[in-house]
Amino acid sequence: MTLLRGGLALPRMGLGCMNLSHAYGIPPSEEDGLAVLRAALDDGVTHLDTATLYGGGRNEELVGRALQGRRDEVLLASKGGMEMVDGVKVIDGRPATLRVQVDASLSRLGVDHIDLYYLHRWDKSVPITESVGALASLVDAGKIGAIGLSEVSVKTLHAAQEAAPIAAVQNEYSLWSRNPELGMLEATRAAGIALVAFSPVARGFLSDSVGDPAALAPKDIRRAMPRFSSDNWPANEALLPAWRALAAEAGCTPAQLALAWLLSRGEHVVPIPGTTSIDHLREDFAALSLSVDVGLLERAGDLIDTDTVSGPRYAPGPASEVDAETFEDPA
């Protein structure tokens, strides 16, 4: 367990629920999505992560259905400040908007309290202290338990801490996305803040499940990501044979090795893999009990890293929406 500010205990791994409703091609049916969530609960998964954005609210509704009669079994995390409006993603961190969105999340989830609530993106037109101050008032009102930030820089984290305690930062972190190593990994460790790692298996790349990006569903978000483009994919795909061999040497699957590497980065690092498969769910969480040689983990870090991976995380448009440090412009 990772102890958050305020005494909130966060399990070492959580389930990212996004792809049950959003982003990666055609989501499963509601009943199949519920089956995954209920299997997770039955297997002892105690941290679920959702958001206002995912599926235009449908993901929170799905999670809420799964939690009926079982709310006390989980640490429930959601996010606001980014939502779908008439089919368009809108980032809005104004206090009034956040208050409305928290109430809407509570309603969709069917709960009276969300344990951990993130500002999904910093709205750069609103001072971070104003957005975080609004969330602090919702902590005081008992609607949320702790405040998190997502895709932020160390500078923004420090500014936010002037307004209220921050319990968690959720940034992308995996072998092929090392941006937290530009300062956030150490800043969160030093402050006693959880670093929640989304996309810990590199959007399927490190689980060796992508195949041909050209065959992805038309609305799959990876189609617009540079690392899956025809310019970069061949170089990235060329890393996979050695990656598979390294996982075989470790006696685990490629996804498990990716998660074991992340878990080794610090007790405060909390991966939240997502899946639409019960088998893959169990495969991912089995990584918690793996014992992988330190030397092999170091070799994994040398094989897949910023120098060996081709292409940036995001195309210019999406990149402009995030605040986290980048290797393209570390300053």
Nearest to 74 by CA among 122, 10, 12, 152: 10
- Residue for token digits 């996804």? 255
Write out the chain in H/E/C secondary structure: CEECCCCCEECCCCEECHHHCCCCCCCCCHHHHHHHHHHHHHCCCCEEECCCCHHHHHHHHHHHHHHCCCHHHCEEEEEECEEEECCEEEECCCHHHHHHHHHHHHHHHCCCCEEEEEECCCCCCCCHHHHHHHHHHHHHCCCEEEEEEECCCHHHHHHHHCCCCCCEEEEECECCECHHHHCHHHHHHHHCCEEEEECCCHHHCCCCCCCCHHHCCCCCHHHHCHHHCCCCHHHHHCCHHHHHHHHHHHCCCHHHHHHHHHHCCCCCEEECCECCCHHHHHHHHHHHHCCCCHHHHHHHHHHCCCCCCCCCCCCHHHHCCCCCCCCCCCC
Nearest to 256 by CA among 242, 271, 268, 269: 271
State the catalytic residues: 54
- CA distances, 96 to each of 101, 106, 234 (Å): 9, 16, 46
